[in-house]
Amino acid sequence: MSTLDGSIANVALPTMSQELSAPIHLIQWVLTAYLLTICATLPIMGKLSDLLGRTRVYLFGFLLFAFGSALCGMSHTLGFLIFSRIVQALGAACLMSNSQAIVAETFAKGDRGRALGIIGTVVSLGSLTGPGIGGILVDRFGWPTIFWINVPIGALAFLAGLVFLPKDSGRKREPFDYAGSGLFIVGMTAFLYILSNAQDWGWASAAVLAGGAGSLAVFACFYLWERRVRYPMLDFTLYRIPAFAVGNLTALLVFAANFFTTVMLPFYLQNVLGLTPESTGYFMMVYPITMAVVAPMSGFLSDKMGSKLLTTLGLAVTIGGFLCLTTVSANENRIALVSFLVLFGLGSGLFQSPNNASIMGAVPLPKLGSAGGLNALARNVGMVLGTSVSVSIYATGLRHYGGGAATPDPQAMISALHVVFWAGLAVCLLALSVSLRRLKL
């Protein structure tokens, strides 16, 4: 549900804008508020699950997500809809921070990689089906139904969890770090808000420079506070575990690189090749379908042979995919293009399940909730970074190759896209150089 709702609202934005009488630059907050809230609260929900119990927080997440979805469905103003999306995102953070932790603890004695691989498949299917399901619901029943559909699913998931999920042993008698949590929320929200708007405001503008400096100052205060408090919200000692630190940094870079393609390929398919939005959707499905097939198999293999070779191989395949995209033209063969997207799905499927198994297998069982929250945070921050940086590079490239024309020609678009894909390749190479450190562990 949490990954599905990250993409299902995209197709409804034009309809929401019209029916709520809200301009596009404001209706975008339906997406932005959801993402910012998740990123700002993931580590906090992970810490709470270590204190209160992972299953308890996970099940509460279903209830909160369903409640927020109902509020979204009842919204008649943009302000209330954004507030409802924040409530929904808090539930999503409970789910995202605990799903891997519950699986990792349950399969601590074996098959952890395969189990996490199945989780990866579910995540891919959620992202894959979101736009399609959303388009059907909006077209036939109206935009509120994309949120109402979550209510019965959330209720059933809560009841199933009561029956099937492992019972929590008890609560830790440990105070919660309210000050640290507040500093993290302020710092992360400010940082991602500045990053999301940097292209519109200008990367060298006073607002971006001052906001960036301010968010970094808050993060510095947060770090100093966490180092001195007895029971910190974010346990920085986790990053002293090499496999955990390498896995999280690599995941952040990989998701940033992959979003160079996720964000930019629709521009290429529609504006250069002239495909319809429906055909573009079919092409974009190739990536997650391939990943959904490969992820469980790579997870199974990681249980047998470890994660080092598989993660390296996955990154090498992704680099091959970027190399192929740097050669695309205005008359690209459709079969060749599908094969390029298969490479990205294969690379991600080979990398993610073993990488997640390596991260979750490196931390002590009592800290699995915190580890799961930080792992999910790395993914989400990577997505925001990839989106913001790729859009900025593309816009700069269009101005350069298009000569400042209001409607650049296809060749200018291709030249700008080539720069974006080369930049994505550079990020992926950086991820590979970080990942190779695990060979020495």
Q: Count the Cβ atoms, other than its own, within 10 Å of residue 276.
A: 10
- Distance, in Å, from the CA atom of 441 to the CA atom of 432, rounded to the nearest integer, reads 15
The confidence band for 170, taking pLDDT boundaries of 50, 70 and 90, is low
Q: Is 407's pLDDT higher than 70?
A: no
Is 259 found in the same domain as 215? no
351 and 381 together in one domain: yes
Contact 246, 434 (CB under 8 A): yes
Q: Are residues 365 and 270 in the same domain?
A: yes
Please tell me the least confidently modeled range out of 178-187, 240-249, 365-374: 365-374
- Using a pLDDT cut of 70, give the percent of the chain over it: 90
Are 155 and 204 contained in the same domain? no
Claim to verify: residue 64 and residue 200 sit in the same structural domain: no
Helix (H, G, I), strand (E, B) or coil at 56: helix
Whether the pLDDT of residue 108 is over 80: the answer is no
* CATH classification at residue 30: 1.20.1250.20
CB 87 within 8 A of CB 68: yes
Q: What is the extent of the structural domain holding 114?
A: 1-165
**Pairwise pLDDT comparison (110 vs 363), residue with the higher score:** 363
Q: Indicate whether 122 belongs to any domain.
A: yes
Task: Please state, in angstroms and rounded to a whole number, the distance separating the CA atoms of residues 218 and 170.
Answer: 34
Q: Based on the domain organization, do 16 and 61 belong to the same domain? A: yes
- Residue range 172-182: mean pLDDT, rounded: 81
In angstroms, the CA 217 to CA 209 distance is: 12
Are 118 and 24 members of one domain?
Answer: yes
Q: Domain boundary residue among 203, 230, 257?
A: 230
Residue 311 has pLDDT above 80, yes or no: yes
With H, G, I as helix, E, B as strand and everything else as coil, classify residue 274. Answer: coil
Residue 422 binned pLDDT confidence (cut-offs 50, 70, 90): very high
Q: Is residue 170 part of a domain?
A: no
**Number of domains forming the structure of the chain:** 3
- Region at 111 (left for phi over 0; alpha for psi -120 to 50; beta for the rest): left
Tell me what the mean pLDDT of segment 181-210 comes to.
85
User: Helices in 202-276 by DSSP H: which ranges?
Assistant: 206-228, 242-267
Domain shared by 256 and 221, yes or no: no
Q: Is the pLDDT of residue 34 over 80?
A: yes
pLDDT in tens, 219-228: 899 889 888 8
Residues 40, 70: contact at Cβ < 8 Å? no
pLDDT surpasses 90 at 358 = no
Q: Does some domain include residue 337? A: yes
Average pLDDT of the segment spanning 297-318: 85
pLDDT of the residue at 70: 93
d(CA 266, CA 281): 8
DSSP of 373-422? HHHHHHHHHHHHHHHHHHHHHHHHHHHHHTTT-SS--HHHHHHHHHHHHH
Residue 67 and residue 101 in one domain: yes
In this model, does residue 373 exceed pLDDT 90? no
CA distances from 340 to 281, 290, 295, 333, 351 (A): 16, 11, 18, 11, 17
- Tokens standing for residue 64: 């909160």
From CA 369, how far away is CA 172, in angstroms rounded? 13
Question: Same domain, yes or no, for 268 and 376?
Answer: yes
Residue that terminates a domain, selected from 230, 254, 273 = 230
CA distances from 329 to 284, 299, 355, 418 (A): 18, 36, 34, 10
In the three-class reduction of DSSP (H, G, I as helix; E, B as strand; rest coil), residue 203 is classed as coil
Residue 172 resides in a domain:
no
Position 403 scores a pLDDT of 65
Q: What residue type is assigned to position 280 of the chain?
A: T
303 and 320 together in one domain: yes
Buried (b) or exposed (e) across 64-103, using 16+ Cβ within 10 A? bbbbbbbbbbebeebeebbbbbbbbbbbbbbbbbbbbbbb
Within a domain: residue 353?
yes
Query: Which tokens hold the place of 393?
Result: 């590079």
Averaged pLDDT for residues 29-55: 83
Same domain, yes or no: 297 and 345: yes
Q: What's the chain's average pLDDT?
A: 82
In order of 121, 213, 261, 295, 375, the CA distances from 250 in angstroms are: 20, 25, 17, 17, 11
Distances (CA, A) of 404 to 338, 401, 409: 32, 8, 11
* Cβ proximity of 115 and 106 under 8 Å: yes
Q: How many residues does the chain have?
A: 441
